[in-house]
Amino acid sequence: MPRFHFDIHENGHLIPDDDGREFVDEDDARKEAVLTGASIARDAFVAGSAHRVVIDVREGTAPFLKVSITLEVEET
């Protein structure tokens, strides 16, 4: 099974995924990337610790996918 790594960026701070996880296929890795990004973004946005979260997914060392979630609040 292919191994995917999910490197997390919060406001420019990198949290590398050195271990990675195995997934049956690319579709499962893509779904996990979206779920991971949404979960991290929700917690960071509510806490006020970040306004942008990016998950860089790579298969081994090759880039595979990027999930970017940005919070924009406009007060009226």
Q: In this predicted model, what pLDDT tens digit does every residue of 26-74 receive, in sequence order?
A: 999 999 999 999 999 999 999 988 899 999 999 988 999 999 999 988 8
* In a domain? residue 30: yes
Q: Which domain holds residue 56?
A: 3-70
pLDDT at position 6 is 97
pLDDT at position 48 is 86
CA distance 47 to 26: 32
pLDDT at position 19 is 96
* In a domain? residue 76: no
* In a domain? residue 48: yes
* In a domain? residue 12: yes
Number of domains present in the structure of the chain: 1
pLDDT at position 39 is 95
CA angle 61/2/25 to nearest 5° reads 120
pLDDT at position 11 is 81
* In a domain? residue 53: yes
* In a domain? residue 47: yes
* In a domain? residue 75: no
